[in-house]
Structure 1
């Protein structure tokens, strides 16, 4: 049997590899866009496997062709497949890098390009030069397409590095020169208005005014002064402001240099041009604007957008399907086709027609993209722009570029009140993977609607924009006395950031379960829980998004201490009670719980309240009384640990409890989030864009955009 499989592989191995390489290109084109929004872990794993296999399969097959083609039945046809593998190495325009680190390997891809081009040229020269002229011409056309596609990918990887992005942010001297240069780079302050907007067109000044683009340089307007693609009315929000997603996306293009300067850590040029753009768009939908900018930044970092939407990029996009179509016609009339086997001829037709389809799709996607719409707008191509925008509105292309709205959630008290007898917990304990199981099984996400109230309050907040403090500003604004709230002030000034998050997370849950002043503030309570759980999720699952050092050992020790307290609660509950063994669980019920995530929710609020009560009672124990309460370590031993500091903080909160105190807790958490976003490494923000982006990145961009409005305005 083994010999039979080996024989079959020798006969059909190259054919299988070539078809596999092409199939991977199709799958990457289809599924790569899922990274723009948060996708499940299995989808991300599958996409990673396809990304890794695509390059390795094409390289291995190309090397195999250079050796095995001479032994094949149709060496001319098999050699004709070599340039298609170059095209496959170029990859689809929807993905160039899977991770941010891939962009830094552009030199490796350049070297691979040179080696693989030489390998493909060798195969063509050795096996096709003596064949028919038509087949040689077809091979040369596909060969040129392959070089251009792979070179395009390598250039896109190079342009996605911080140094390359920073080099594009060169600001000329003088306001007028700044305006003119940025307008030519698809940035402009005043796009078309909609008659229902209620906004008046800003007066256009004379050309001699150094702060305004000259009249002849302004974008052209429709005679009816209507918004592009007026098939869909602009969205209305509660403040009676209106702006459509397509117009907002154009605004994101006009301010994209601000976003790029932040990700590249470059100095930002302040100008009235930027101020006018920011005021117009950010005042309508600040978070929508930065979400669109995040999507554009994703294009620069992980796709070919930085190269595709240039004059040479459009040239390649147009040339590739035309050259492939010509190669298809040349092969159809080639004499080598008639002497080949039916299977090999069929595979060649499949490669030619499939490549033609993929290249045509890539061209259509580029023409229908927001980058092309921005170019059409600047060039004044009204009819073409109207047709493309009509199709984009029908498919809601602009709205799909908004942030996915997914915020991670993780709650310590929820985890510590888990049922340790469940199958998943027992298996994790046996394998020593309890921390990993808790991280995966007990974390969850919330929809975008839960972040709406947080966004609204962030816009109205004052004193949060600097991002240099992590709560003390809010406490001082509330006029909380330092002497009576020493621990509260110390937790946001003296403690390390991870200790602050752990302590405030525990204190928040304990306070919410014990306070009698929050009964009529359900919406604010939900917002506080969301922020507290989100910061805990970042500390546990995305520590690179927080200013360091983030000590995972501190988090694990805190979990262990809370587990001891909950074990004591269970022991107290069972004293004097008849043991309740409960009804035996069915095996399918156990398996269902094993694969069903236990996300933070309200289902275990009674248990959390019981644990909170026990925590408050425990902190009053002296070291001499630790024998009476063996479920918790002595206070003097844990005096600097969050497991003790959290309940003590909650005790101070309850002592200061009032109708407005909950709002103060919310703004402390918000200030912590702003602090973390400001001090997070730029690369960490960029890395998360390939999985939908994080809310902390949205906050970071929104804060800086708001600062820009205030500075320039």
Structure 2
């Protein structure tokens, strides 16, 4: 390897830079919907190495330029100057991954400084090596545009004009009459909701119009479509945070992209027709690889843009064109029906199954692979490796979506009444009409004018009320307990610290799930049972692997303590318990409920509270067990989503997405839908009162 580096020193770095660019262009966007460690490592490695490799190559080329006298330039040095221009293009990066993390956007000025420094290096190399070779100049212009796009994209999030939208009223109006454009209309509506909320901006208060309200109202009864709408919103958010695509779709961005493409193709054609007899064959082949690779990356980027949702939005603006109008429906249908927007999987971690796994490890009942991994865990090299062995993933979320929306709407309906500090709708309208909305609609009939007046002036107030509902969403199960009249018996289980409360309800859910004596009186109770288990194990996953997301501090200590207590019980039962036809889950649940270990429990308060909770649910609320458990878990999930910081949600988008982020968006949507219903009733009363 050393002799290759010595012989092809610069070539290795230049071609390596091209290889990393191709990897990032083809794989970079997959992290949006793939959560595996393998794909994340590949992208991290390629992203980390890409700029470093290109910078090292530029440094070596500048050394060559320094060593040569400008009046005595060797032919091969002309090609190396051309390589420098292509490396500047590489430093611009592919469209699919402009930023690795959301914090990169806050440091865009560093990239601007990097652009100036690298540009100075390339100009220095060209001046000393190329003797005015025009192909190098053309490629330099393309590189400046590409690097400038990267800096612009990084600054876009911080400097974005929040009032700018790709879609106009005329575009919406035209699509509303196109029956074959249902999917395109859906994508357009998701973009409008994304523009309305801009979730990636902390504390952003939107001006919500009747149009946005009607979108949520339209899908509020269809959990599948509502979740799809939010998935599209989060995909738009991902693109703004991590890619160049949003700026390429602007008029200025499209012009620069066209120029960059023309310059790159011109560079390839110019080099192809130029005489190359005086160049070394190795350098000619390397140059062809660089130029063909650059053109390939440009063509690939344009293709991805056409097939992206941003490309579909551009087509919506031009759908009256015959060709665009024919292509748009099929592309939009593929986007809605087939293209993945997030991993669509929910991680599951079962505390008691982990304890069974630990017991199996201690008795040598696991595979050789598990025992080897356990050695690393015991040696403190990878402390969580045993926990990763117990991770599962659930991909069927249809029932969860339905139950989540049902519980959320009920919860927000109750929560809305707690906002006693919010001024009444009537007072809000009177204040706004007298101070903020001049009467300029003299030609409109009085009754219609009043309705337009009310709807137009309260848009921002609705946005503030929605955020106020979200900000006050600090309940961890209280609303569900009130709804099912069990607050007095169960309140102590939710008044604990959030991490301890999660563990208590997780163990109680496990016991109830495997207890055959609990009735399922309602057809929906079976769905509630499975959904409760899913959310319970997902919350345990967050507690164990991402405690910072849900803002708990002592999670590891409590988890280790309860694991030790449960493992001791499992170990004793395995030694003394007779073999029966029951599964070990059933035996453990029966053991915990029949009081066999009551003498141990006073010194184990968390485990005692878990068993007491399961006993109370079974004894006092036999017909409402799964209604209560499901309601509490949904509320805890909503609380966790609301507690998670905006930046953490943004980071989760680049890891395949998380259910937590979808719930975070859903809270705002359902808050808006609930407020719309209440405010429409008050509006009708107000208008009726105003006519008399």
TM-score range with shorter-chain normalisation? Answer: 0.7 to 0.9
1:50 Cα deviation after fit: 0.9
Residue of structure 2 in register with 1:328 after alignment? 268
Bigger Cα displacement from structure 2, 99-108 vs 658-667: 99-108
For residues 176 and 616 of structure 2, what CA distance do their matches in structure 1 show? 65
For residues 468 and 690 of structure 1, what CA distance do their matches in structure 2 show? 27
Residue of structure 2 in register with 1:175 after alignment? none
Residue of structure 2 in register with 1:291 after alignment? 231
1:687 Cα deviation after fit: 0.7
Residue of structure 1 in register with 2:403 after alignment? 457
For residues 348 and 55 of structure 1, what CA distance do their matches in structure 2 show? 19
In the alignment, is residue 709 of structure 1 matched against residue 673 of structure 2?
A: yes
CA contact (8 A) 2:193 2:212 kept: yes
Residue of structure 1 in register with 2:535 after alignment? 531
Residue of structure 1 in register with 2:17 after alignment? 21
Residue of structure 2 in register with 1:585 after alignment? none
CA contact (8 A) 1:544 1:684 kept: no
CA contact (8 A) 1:409 1:446 kept: yes
CA contact (8 A) 2:176 2:185 kept: no
For residues 337 and 116 of structure 2, what CA distance do their matches in structure 1 show? 38
Structure 1 residues 502-560: Cα deviation after superposition (integer angstroms, max 9, x where no partner)? 11001111122235123675433222211111111111122232133353221122112
Matched ranges for 1:163-562 at <5 A? 163-165=158-160, 168-169=161-162, 185-187=165-167, 217=170, 219=172, 221=174, 225-228=178-181, 244-261=182-199, 263-280=201-218, 285-335=225-275, 337-390=276-329, 392=331, 395-396=334-335, 399-418=338-357, 419-420=360-361, 421=364, 422=366, 423=368, 424-425=370-371, 426-428=374-376, 430-432=378-380, 435-447=383-395, 449=396, 451-461=397-407, 462-465=409-412, 466=415, 467-480=473-486, 482=488, 485=489, 488-492=490-494, 494-518=495-519, 521-549=525-553, 551-562=555-566
Matched ranges for 1:94-173 at <5 A? 94-129=96-131, 133=132, 136-160=133-157, 163-165=158-160, 168-169=161-162
For residues 430 and 279 of structure 1, what CA distance do their matches in structure 2 show? 54
1:246 Cα deviation after fit: 3.5
For residues 455 and 358 of structure 1, what CA distance do their matches in structure 2 show? 39
For residues 52 and 612 of structure 1, what CA distance do their matches in structure 2 show? 50
In the alignment, is residue 648 of structure 1 matched against residue 595 of structure 2?
A: no
Check 1:187–1:274 CA distance in 2 against 1; reply closer, same or farther (3 A cut).
Answer: farther
Check 1:649–1:223 CA distance in 2 against 1; reply closer, same or farther (3 A cut).
Answer: closer
Check 1:385–1:357 CA distance in 2 against 1; reply closer, same or farther (3 A cut).
Answer: same
For residues 519 and 276 of structure 1, what CA distance do their matches in structure 2 show? 37
Query: Which 5+ residue runs of structure 2 have no aligned equivalent?
Result: 69-73, 416-472, 678-692
Residue of structure 1 in register with 2:688 after alignment? none
Structure 1 residues 312-366: Cα deviation after superposition (integer angstroms, max 9, x where no partner)? 211122111211121122223334x221011211211221122112112212322
For residues 99 and 398 of structure 1, what CA distance do their matches in structure 2 show? 29
1:707 Cα deviation after fit: 1.5
Superposition RMSD in Å: 2.6
For residues 319 and 108 of structure 1, what CA distance do their matches in structure 2 show? 25
For residues 500 and 605 of structure 1, what CA distance do their matches in structure 2 show? 29
SS class of match (1:696): helix
CA contact (8 A) 1:524 1:663 kept: yes
Check 1:34–1:678 CA distance in 2 against 1; reply closer, same or farther (3 A cut).
Answer: same
For residues 577 and 376 of structure 2, what CA distance do their matches in structure 1 show? 26
1:700 Cα deviation after fit: 1.5
Bigger Cα displacement from structure 2, 528-537 vs 375-384: 375-384
For residues 61 and 673 of structure 1, what CA distance do their matches in structure 2 show? 49
Residue of structure 1 in register with 2:47 after alignment? 51
1:281 Cα deviation after fit: 5.0
Residue of structure 2 in register with 1:589 after alignment? none
Bigger Cα displacement from structure 2, 651-660 vs 604-613: 604-613
Residue of structure 2 in register with 1:198 after alignment? none
Bigger Cα displacement from structure 2, 277-286 vs 88-97: 277-286
Check 1:137–1:387 CA distance in 2 against 1; reply closer, same or farther (3 A cut).
Answer: farther
SS class of match (2:623): coil
Structure 1 residues 264-286: Cα deviation after superposition (integer angstroms, max 9, x where no partner)? 32112232232233334555521
For residues 274 and 75 of structure 2, what CA distance do their matches in structure 1 show? 17
Check 1:663–1:220 CA distance in 2 against 1; reply closer, same or farther (3 A cut).
Answer: closer
- Aligned counterpart for 2:585 among listed residues 605, 608, 620: 608
For residues 611 and 347 of structure 2, what CA distance do their matches in structure 1 show? 24
CA contact (8 A) 1:435 1:556 kept: no
For residues 435 and 352 of structure 1, what CA distance do their matches in structure 2 show? 47
Structure 1 residues 592-651: Cα deviation after superposition (integer angstroms, max 9, x where no partner)? xxxxxxxxxxxx9822222223333567634xxxxxxxxxxx444333xx2332112112
In the alignment of these two chains, the number of paired residues is: 596
For residues 75 and 178 of structure 2, what CA distance do their matches in structure 1 show? 66
CA contact (8 A) 2:315 2:328 kept: no
CA contact (8 A) 2:478 2:487 kept: no
SS class of match (1:408): strand
For residues 669 and 6 of structure 1, what CA distance do their matches in structure 2 show? 59
For residues 341 and 7 of structure 2, what CA distance do their matches in structure 1 show? 50
Structure 1 residues 188-210: Cα deviation after superposition (integer angstroms, max 9, x where no partner)? 6xxxxxxxxxxxxxxxxxxxxxx
Check 1:187–1:277 CA distance in 2 against 1; reply closer, same or farther (3 A cut).
Answer: farther
Residue of structure 2 in register with 1:205 after alignment? none
Residue of structure 1 in register with 2:464 after alignment? none
Structure 1 residues 455-485: Cα deviation after superposition (integer angstroms, max 9, x where no partner)? 1122223442353311111111111261xx1
Query: Which 5+ residue runs of structure 1 have no aligned equivalent?
Result: 171-181, 189-212, 229-243, 578-603, 623-633
1:220 Cα deviation after fit: 5.9
Structure 1 residues 215-239: Cα deviation after superposition (integer angstroms, max 9, x where no partner)? xx465637984323xxxxxxxxxxx
Matched ranges for 1:629-708 at <5 A? 634-639=600-605, 642-708=606-672
Check 1:651–1:663 CA distance in 2 against 1; reply closer, same or farther (3 A cut).
Answer: same
For residues 146 and 227 of structure 1, what CA distance do their matches in structure 2 show? 42
CA contact (8 A) 1:404 1:692 kept: yes
CA contact (8 A) 1:169 1:261 kept: no
CA contact (8 A) 2:197 2:205 kept: no
1:564 Cα deviation after fit: 1.3
1:75 Cα deviation after fit: 1.2
- Higher helix fraction (1 or 2): 2
Residue of structure 1 in register with 2:461 after alignment? none
Check 1:272–1:354 CA distance in 2 against 1; reply closer, same or farther (3 A cut).
Answer: same
CA contact (8 A) 1:518 1:525 kept: no
Check 1:341–1:605 CA distance in 2 against 1; reply closer, same or farther (3 A cut).
Answer: farther
SS class of match (1:221): helix
1:397 Cα deviation after fit: 6.5
CA contact (8 A) 2:184 2:329 kept: no
SS class of match (2:393): strand
Structure 1 residues 29-79: Cα deviation after superposition (integer angstroms, max 9, x where no partner)? 111121111232112111111111111111111111111355787111112
For residues 114 and 176 of structure 2, what CA distance do their matches in structure 1 show? 53
